Amino acid sequence: MVKEQLNILIQLAASDNEVAEKEARLIKMIGQSNGVSKDDIEDMLKNPKRPIGDMNTLTDDQKFEYLYNIVQLMKIDGQVFKSEIVFCEDIAQRLGYKKGVIGELSSKIFSDPSITSDRSHLKKKVQKYLK
């Protein structure tokens, strides 16, 4: 599950055809803090699965799923760093949301993936953040 979510983060970071050094560092930090080996992360960064292509073609539901996953990935280790928040806000903006959507989702998504939030309710709440 962590590798799947990490791959989504990699795909989103690579959506501008380049993973910036600060993005790569954050991805490595998140991956390692969640038990993914350095070698696996390097391989994932070099060969991301299922490239998502143009994010403008994603449906609102797909955009929401990406947002949900990156926020959950950010919180999964029980620690949230400022750099992770900034990174997630950047991804949200690339998906067509105002960056405030991360604060909204972060307050409603739990760090434990087994505790699920009411996704349909959250989807409605984040619609107001679409640009």
Q: Residue 99: its pLDDT value, please?
A: 92
Report, as ranges of residue numbers, the positions in the chain whose pLDDT lies below 70: 1, 15-16, 50-54, 111-117
Q: Residue 70: its pLDDT value, please?
A: 84
Q: In whole angstroms, how far apart are CA 62 and each of 3, 12, 52, 53, 56?
A: 19, 12, 10, 13, 11
Q: In whole angstroms, how far apart are CA 131 and each of 1, 58, 76, 100?
A: 30, 14, 28, 11
Residue 78, H or E segment:
none
